[in-house]
Amino acid sequence: MRAAYYGKQGPAHEVFEVGEVPLPEPGPGEVRVKVAVSGVHVGDVGKRRGYWGSTMTYPRVVPHGDGAGTVDATGTGVDATRIGERVWVYLAQSYRPFGTAAEHVVVPAAHAVPLPPEADLEQAAVVGIPGITGHRAVFASGPVQGGTVLVTGPLGGVGRAALAVARRGGATVLATVRHADQVDEVLAAGAHHVVRLDTGDAVAQIRAIAPDGVDRVAEIDLAGNAAFDVEVLKHHGVIATYATSDPEAPLPYWSLAFKNITVQHLSNDDFPEEANDHAARDLTAALAAGDLRYPIAGRFTLDQIADAQDAAERTGAAGRVIITL
């Protein structure tokens, strides 16, 4: 089969190759998926570039954790009736050398999620890493029915998922934006209320909606927003953070402590499997209902993988980049 791969870290156009590799066979508890669409995430770029201290743990890596396609083979212990099933896959290249930038990929059966016919393959192909992270940012401390959830970075990949699942979970959903022209898009993505940070009274805006403070914050920038989060959270509230602008920045310890605020640090590769299962169910339902939609920032072929990863790095989390096979 054809696949894209690299044998060392570095710039995309210097390290990527596209060629023939052996067709993988599913082992016990696994399925093989014929990939239709491979999703490119900034995390895939980071692994290839060596960001965040990542190293080459395998001599050759076929990248990309996310994708969508059709099950075409099953391993022992997996019902063969799954063959022909449309699925989206996640964590394909987590602790494994073979991701979705190939004509076929093998994943644990639970990581190939059945996709209803009304769900779009392109959307399903990009939901994995950001979607599951957004879901965890909302639900890591339990249900949100009747609660209040604040989402920062709501137009990013994680933020869009957090908006959708928090609203579907019964929360009142608030989101912060920096520019007036973002308000309508954030409302359309699922927020009940949008708070503008450029007006100078963002805390007052939030307190007018949630006088006692919000229950949870799905936080894109812990270093930049921790002090603000303390002001708008109620006592015993939760900050669930998946990124930071400065990994070495100090936190306002006593302000957090006096309000008994919990700070949860999230990394997608290592969520509990029951949390992944919960997220997969909820995200599939949100995709099928049209409540979760990602802008597609670029479409590429497998031979254009270097261009695709460069586009993903430029775009960041604002739009998804895909490779069609």
How far is residue 161's CA from residue 175's CA, in Å, rounded to a whole number? Answer: 12
How far is residue 23's CA from residue 203's CA, in Å, rounded to a whole number? Answer: 55
| Spatial CB neighbours of 274, under 8 Å, sequence gap ≥ 6 | none
pLDDT beyond 70 at 163? yes
218-275: pLDDT as tens digits = 999 999 999 999 999 999 999 999 999 999 999 999 999 999 999 999 999 999 999 9
Three-state DSSP class for residue 142: coil
Find out whether 325 and 158 touch, Cβ atoms under 8 Å: no
Quick one: which of 274, 232, 42, 256 has its CA closest to 139? 274
101-113: pLDDT as tens digits = 999 999 999 999 9
Quick one: which of 195, 164, 173 has its CA closest to 182? 195
CA-to-CA dists, residue 267 to 28, 33, 119, 124, 298, angstroms: 27, 25, 27, 21, 26
| Three-state SS letters, 241-265 | ECCCCCCCCCCCHHHHHHCCCEEEE
Output the six-digit token pair for 65.
Answer: 């954790």
How far is residue 173's CA from residue 138's CA, in Å, rounded to a whole number? Answer: 10
Average pLDDT over residues 2-13: 96
54: pLDDT confidence band, cut at 50, 70 and 90? Answer: confident
317: pLDDT confidence band, cut at 50, 70 and 90? Answer: low
Q: What is the pLDDT of residue 315?
A: 80
